[in-house]
Structure 1
Amino acid sequence: MANLTPVHFFAHGSTMMLGEESESADYWKKCGDEALAHSIKGVIMMGAHWAAADDAIEVSMNPKPAKSPVAYVHPSKYQNYDLQPDLPTGQRCVKLLREAGFRARGNPTFDWIHDTYLILIRMFPGGCPPTTIVSMNPRFDPHYHMRVGLAFRRLRAEGYLLIGSGGTVHNLYRNVWYPMVNYCDNFAQPTPPCDWALGFRQSFEDVINYGGGPRLRLGITRLMKHPQFRDAHATDDHYMAACFVAGAVGAREDEGTRGELGAEDWELTNMCNSQFTLGAWDVAAAV
């Protein structure tokens, strides 16, 4: 028996989630404070904006990554935040992926994107912990990305915090942009969210409420066949982080692990930023 760290699925939303205060930002900070209080060894993240250029998976091995610019946010919010790439853990992640049968390699030139460092800044404003960024595979196969999370599950017993940064409902083509473009108001809701957004969001929460274990893996991967999935996700990239999380807390030994909604914000009318946690600190489980 070992104590396993919880696993987070965070919907990072628009870039303005870095610049504006929100319930999600408060929850990210709370989760970061809890992680530091439990002396995490490091963070391992899969985001939604980086996929390998071919049929493979990559791990960031850039010792001094730059940050991609963030639209609609003043540079003072992120420019001076020092990133802490964890190269030894990155090498280990490549090894674990290869042992699990993946075509995996390190990427020594990748610069970090807001989907990951936005979350890190919000969680750990006092300083970035050692962090490893893992890419997606460009085929966007849900079962592939679930197995990536499963390959890393053992690291939870060693004190690593696993995070998927994507979106619950994230269809840029069906957002309402004019309040943000004209007034820098990303939280304006001139109309309620559309039925398809509300419907898929509820189905997603229902699956998380199953808790961990194989049922979670089945539920998350099957949601890509949901009749409202393509409305909720015009592209598959922001959903792969959820599949990663489902694998990380999807072993049979994870059955009974509680899933809960910690915070939620709607942006741009139809973009739902739900923040979910599966598991809790100091809970023992078989590894």
Structure 2
Amino acid sequence: MMPSLFIAHGAPTLALENNDYTKMLKELGSRLPIPRAIVLFSAHWEEPVQAVSAVEKYDMIYDFYGFPPEMYDIVYPAKGDTVLAKQVLNLLAEQGIDTRADTIRGIDHGAWVVLRLLYPQANIPVVVLSVNPGLSPEEQYRIGQALTPLRKDGIMVIGSGGTVHNLRRVNWQSTEAEAWAVKFDDWLEEKIEKWDTGSLFTYETEAPYAREAVPRNEHFIPLLLAMGAADNGRKGTLLHQEYQYGTLSLSCWRFD
């Protein structure tokens, strides 16, 4: 049974950094069982209907501005898997989830930053999925649940986003986390370890500093999607936790 992962992708420059978090992700890729393929939900692909990439090869999307020139030279030659994409579409449809296949879109940095650190050789097929900020937390979790059978078939499910992701309050010189960011993540850790979905589904009103930590939910959604994919085991393990610029959490969760 493949694990499901939630991985914070931080600022795009994470792709060029050599720190404790990037080292951990590189080591994680070598420690985990090698997946037959990867299904990845990216916070940087928002759609009102669940979209599933059905391409044979991805073009690069550099969906950021004003970063160092070398960021735009990065190429991660990810290959798609159209057969797996069809399987994903069928699994979602069986649960009454509206879907559509996407045969055009490339791979955004929410996906390639993470994948490049985990599997730099780009030798594992990838199917990228969108997120829908308009759905309730319960509906997000249910989408993940629908993909649980994939894990039995050697396929890894990854949610790429960020639990604390407040760009308006970023301090580019900060080397310490804001106290409210830590309190939110501490609350989240407790609820995940207990697999308290009732509290997680109402995090907006229950969690301390939820509005500051999650001003928009598109980066938080992948956590619920990854957890849903591991609903049959309900075991969460925090593999890493640190912060960038005070208000961007770099957390990695494994779900079994």
Flag whether TM exceeds 0.5 (same fold). Answer: yes
Shift in CA distance, 204/78, structure 1 to aligned 2, threshold 3 Å: farther
Question: Do residues 167 (structure 1) and 168 (structure 2) align?
Answer: no
Equivalent position of 1:65 in the other structure: 58
How far off its partner does 1:275 sit?
1.1
Q: Which amino acid aligns with 2:20?
A: E
Equivalent position of 2:85 in the other structure: 90
Equivalent position of 1:242 in the other structure: 223
Once residues 216 and 271 of structure 1 are traced to their aligned partners in structure 2, the CA distance between those partners, rounded to angstroms, is 24
Q: Which amino acid aligns with 2:120?
A: P
Equivalent position of 2:185 in the other structure: 201
How far off its partner does 1:73 sit?
4.6
Gaps in structure 1 of 5+ consecutive residues:
180-187, 280-287
Runs of 4+ in 1 over 6 A off after TM superposition: none
Q: Which amino acid aligns with 2:58?
A: P
Equivalent position of 1:20 in the other structure: 17
> In 1, are the aligned partners of 2:58 and 2:77 still within 8 Å (CA)?
no
> In 1, are the aligned partners of 2:177 and 2:244 still within 8 Å (CA)?
no
How far off its partner does 1:227 sit?
4.0
> In 2, are the aligned partners of 1:170 and 1:238 still within 8 Å (CA)?
yes
Q: How does 1:143-158 map to 2 (within 5 A)?
A: 143-158=138-153
> In 1, are the aligned partners of 2:147 and 2:229 still within 8 Å (CA)?
yes
Residue among 34, 59, 73 paired with 2:31: 34
> In 2, are the aligned partners of 1:67 and 1:113 still within 8 Å (CA)?
yes
Larger radius of gyration: 1
Residue among 265, 275, 278 paired with 2:242: 265
Once residues 199 and 159 of structure 1 are traced to their aligned partners in structure 2, the CA distance between those partners, rounded to angstroms, is 36
Q: Which amino acid aligns with 1:144?
A: E
Tell me the secondary structure at the aligned position of residue 16 of structure 2: coil
Deviation digits for residues 151-198 of structure 1, max 9, x if unmatched? 001111111111111112111111113x3xxxxxxxx42xx4333211
How far off its partner does 1:124 sit?
0.6
Residue among 98, 102, 120 paired with 1:107: 102
> In 1, are the aligned partners of 2:39 and 2:128 still within 8 Å (CA)?
yes
Shift in CA distance, 216/8, structure 1 to aligned 2, threshold 3 Å: farther
Once residues 230 and 141 of structure 2 are traced to their aligned partners in structure 1, the CA distance between those partners, rounded to angstroms, is 10
Of all paired residues, the percent bearing the same amino acid is 24
How far off its partner does 1:22 sit?
1.8
Tell me the secondary structure at the aligned position of residue 129 of structure 1: coil
Once residues 214 and 133 of structure 2 are traced to their aligned partners in structure 1, the CA distance between those partners, rounded to angstroms, is 16
Once residues 221 and 78 of structure 1 are traced to their aligned partners in structure 2, the CA distance between those partners, rounded to angstroms, is 40
> In 1, are the aligned partners of 2:55 and 2:81 still within 8 Å (CA)?
no
Shift in CA distance, 176/126, structure 1 to aligned 2, threshold 3 Å: same
Deviation digits for residues 73-127 of structure 1, max 9, x if unmatched? 5537863321111111111101111111011110111121101110000001122
Q: Which amino acid aligns with 1:92?
A: Q
Tell me the secondary structure at the aligned position of residue 60 of structure 2: coil
Tell me the secondary structure at the aligned position of residue 200 of structure 2: helix
Shift in CA distance, 261/138, structure 1 to aligned 2, threshold 3 Å: closer
Once residues 128 and 219 of structure 1 are traced to their aligned partners in structure 2, the CA distance between those partners, rounded to angstroms, is 38
Alignment TM-score, normalising by the size of structure 2: 0.91
Tell me the secondary structure at the aligned position of residue 158 of structure 1: coil
> In 2, are the aligned partners of 1:61 and 1:110 still within 8 Å (CA)?
no
Gaps in structure 2 of 5+ consecutive residues:
none
Equivalent position of 1:135 in the other structure: 130
Tell me the secondary structure at the aligned position of residue 111 of structure 1: coil
> In 2, are the aligned partners of 1:45 and 1:163 still within 8 Å (CA)?
yes
How far off its partner does 1:273 sit?
1.0
How far off its partner does 1:216 sit?
4.2
Q: Which amino acid aligns with 1:193?
A: A
How far off its partner does 1:271 sit?
1.5
Shift in CA distance, 26/86, structure 1 to aligned 2, threshold 3 Å: same
Tell me the secondary structure at the aligned position of residue 21 of structure 1: coil
Q: Which amino acid aligns with 1:22?
A: N
